[in-house]
Every structure is written in structure tokens, then in C-alpha cells.
Amino acid sequence: MTQPLPRSLRERIGHSLAFEGIAVLICAPAMAWFMGKPLLQLGALTLMFSTVAMLWNMLFNYLFDRAQSRLGFERGLWARVCHALLFEGGLVVMLVPLAAWWLSIGLLEALLLDIVLILFFLPYTMAFNWIYDVLRARLLARREAQANAAICRGA
């Protein structure tokens, strides 16, 4: 299996925006319907969640990388389990109070909402990234074929 080409900052930003944008388009109407709240209210909340998640992702991964360089651990199974649990735990700490305040609900109800979102995001993340990688590979293969054809025509 060949290694994929490195991703540029521009591509990483586009990937994140597409991931979050599609998630908002799915989650806002579903949560509005499920909770019986206005779409605008849940749309704003999902945008806030998305923004917090993206910022937390950047900060958390920066801090995790620094911890790894200082402590010298490898990213084996245990480190990845800790990474995932600490990342999700941080999100829960930030998002549950935000949801409770924004929706005027209790912390327990907001925690249940967050658990439902986590259960949505597990398969969504896998599916989105799998589809993204397949489409990216096809696009790169097409570009390579076009470049090779251009070289052949020029020879």
C-alpha cells in the first residue's frame, strides 16, 4: 500500500470545513426535530459546537504533541486511547454547559444530548474520512494521468 501524499494547510482547512459544514447540515435539523426547538436556535448551537470543536482540536493536538515530545512516549494503542478520551472529555466539559445555557435545559439533559452527538460523530467521522480519502485518491490519480498524458503529448 502506498503512502498518501502529504496534505497542505489549505487542504486540511478545506477538509475541516467540509467535515463540520456537512455535520451542521445533518445535526441542526435532526436536533431541532428531536428536541422540538426552532431550527435557527439549534443551527446556531451546532455552529458554536463546531467552532469550539475545531479550536479545541487544534489546541489539544498542539498540547498533546508537546507532551509527547517532552515525555517521549510512542503513539501506540494506550496513547491513542488516552488521546481520544482526553479530547472527548475536554469537549464534554466545554459543550455541555454551553448547550445547557443556550437551550435553557439542565446539565443532565445537555449531557445526554452530547452523548447522542458523540454516538452520531463516531460513524460519521469514519464514513466522512473514508469517502474523503477515496475521492482524494481518485482526484490525485486523475491529475497524475492528465500530467502523464501532457508529458506524452509533449514528447
For every one of its 155 residues, what pLDDT tens digit does the chain have, with 9 covering 90 and above? 455 567 788 888 898 899 999 999 999 999 999 999 999 999 999 999 999 998 998 898 889 889 988 998 887 888 888 888 898 899 999 999 999 999 999 999 999 999 999 899 989 988 998 999 899 999 999 988 988 888 888 76
pLDDT at residue number 92: 94
- DSSP 3-state of 24: helix
Give domain limits for the chain.
11-122
Residue 68 C-alpha from the chain's centroid:
22
pLDDT at residue number 6: 74
pLDDT at residue number 1: 47
**What's the CA angle centered on 71, arms 66 and 75, to 5 degrees?**
80
pLDDT at residue number 155: 63
| Block residue for cell numbers 459544514 | 21
pTM of the predicted model as reported, rounded to 2 decimal places:
0.77
Whether the CB-CB separation of 130 and 122 falls below 8 Å is answered with: no
DSSP state of 3: P
User: How far apart are the C-alpha atoms of 43 and 33, rounded to whole Å?
Assistant: 12
* Residue 85 CB partners (closer than 8 Å, separation 6+): none
pLDDT at residue number 46: 94
pLDDT at residue number 122: 87
Report the helix count and the strand count for the chain, using DSSP H and E.
Answer: 4, 0
State which H helix or E strand residue 27 sits in: helix 9-35
| Block residue for cell numbers 435539523 | 29
pLDDT at residue number 5: 65
Residue 66 C-alpha from the chain's centroid:
21
- DSSP 3-state of 22: helix
pLDDT at residue number 4: 59
